[in-house]
Structure 1
Amino acid sequence: MTAAVLSACGSDGSDGRQVASLSTATSGVPSTSVPSASATDGSSRPQIRLDTSAKEKDRLRKSYYACLAEHGHRMYPGRGSPVQDNLTSQDEAAKKECLGKKPLRPPQLDREKNPQYLDDYHSYIECLHDNGMDVRPTKPFGTGWTYGPGGSSQSEDQKMKIDQKCKISAFGDG
């Protein structure tokens, strides 16, 4: 299944204030906007885009996880990811404190923001099939997918590239 990714922010280094950073893709279109994460109400959360690279998503996720750990959230040993079950009051407090660093999924992947979400999701599944991935949508439709009996002969890296290409193709505006 595909997964959402998490976020971070940069510092200008002079006085400790957080500043936004903007990465530009080769097309000249910004690939990821990472605003200040000083607010805990979520109003300044970074927005992940469909074309955000896997490397950038990983960097942002690790930064968010580091914030959680720094604020006392329990983490899985050896994995560095936060415990998700039976959250304690300390875990909840850390999540609230770090909310400004947790990125939002691309709006195209949000049913509430994309009125064509189910049509786009159908196109996404078709694209995965067309690229040699035997996947089956899970129920309810549009919530995820799993491999069918044919699976996929591609490497993990290739599957990630196909997945991103198909998301951009199916959910993108172009």
Structure 2
Amino acid sequence: MTNAPRRLGLAALTLFATVLAGCGGEKSDAGGTADVASLATGSAAPSASATAAAAAAGRPQLRLDMNEDEKQRLWNAYNYCLRDHGVREIKERSAATPKGSGMISLDQSGEPKAAYVACADKLPLQPPELDEEKNPNYVIQWNDYVQCLRGRGMKIHSLPDGSGWTYDDGVADPSGGLDGAALSKAEHECTMEAFGGR
């Protein structure tokens, strides 16, 4: 059995961002798109790192303790901004989202690029605990997270480069019976246990 590796946008967060952004990528911090520096006015263009840092400074920050409604409001603001700046909404898929959620499904071509530039300051940042560069305990906590999922019956292991986890090969049911809502719940609880200090 070949299974795609899972990356720590931690599926609960990754799945949430994927559903809201309508993307198929694993890096939820980018919502399926590359980080885009904001446009600058003036005669000299600032460096890409300077504009990326400026955009990140004003971006909404997700927290581990946020409830789904709070996260959804932030992702909706970003997605509506993209739509309002010309990213095509896939109306038939938007119509299939939960009533009253405000979620929309967008085309994932990455066009028009100007929309992503205009909305860069609305793209939510993942919680700092899940950022290896900001969290000095990330590697230990990541291993605790994987062990937590294993403790719930999942037959998984960390990838050698530390970029995520994958199902064990040769196991009849590597998910341990966890899928859909049960998997999202387990991942959220293990995220809070390993990264949230609970």
Would you say same fold, with TM above 0.5?
A: yes
Amino acid of the structure 2 residue aligned with 1:46 = P
How has the CA–CA distance of structure 1 residues 152 and 81 changed in structure 2, closer, same or farther, with 3 Å as cutoff? farther
Residues in 1 aligned to 2:56 and 2:115: alpha-carbon distance in whole angstroms? 13
Does residue 117 (structure 1) correspond to residue 141 (structure 2)? The answer is no
Does residue 128 (structure 1) correspond to residue 149 (structure 2)? The answer is yes
Partner of 1:107: 128
Residues in 1 aligned to 2:114 and 2:165: alpha-carbon distance in whole angstroms? 32
Structure number with the bigger relative contact order (C-alpha 8 A, sep ≥ 6) is: 2
Does residue 144 (structure 1) correspond to residue 144 (structure 2)? The answer is no
Amino acid of the structure 2 residue aligned with 1:5 = A
Which segments of 5 or more consecutive residues in structure 1 lack a partner in the other structure? Answer: 8-39
1:1-174 correspondence to structure 2 within 5 Å:
1=6, 2=11, 3=14, 5=17, 41-75=55-89, 78=93, 80-85=104-109, 87-88=110-111, 90=112, 92-141=113-162, 143-148=163-168, 149=171, 150-174=174-198
- Higher strand fraction: Structure 1 or Structure 2? 1
Number of aligned residues: 138
Which segments of 5 or more consecutive residues in structure 2 lack a partner in the other structure? Answer: 1-5, 21-53, 95-103
Taking only the aligned residue pairs, the percentage that are identical comes to 34
- Higher helix fraction: Structure 1 or Structure 2? 2
Amino acid of the structure 1 residue aligned with 2:129 = Q
Q: Deviations over 1:54-101 (max 9, x none)?
A: 34333432332121111112455626444445x34x2x2111211222
Amino acid of the structure 1 residue aligned with 2:152 = N
Residues in 2 aligned to 1:59 and 1:135: alpha-carbon distance in whole angstroms? 32
How has the CA–CA distance of structure 1 residues 84 and 161 changed in structure 2, closer, same or farther, with 3 Å as cutoff? same
Scaled by the length of structure 1, the TM-score of the pair is: 0.66
Scaled by the length of structure 2, the TM-score of the pair is: 0.59
Q: Residues 50 and 164 of structure 1 are in contact (CA less than 8 Å); yes or no, is this contact kept in structure 2?
A: no
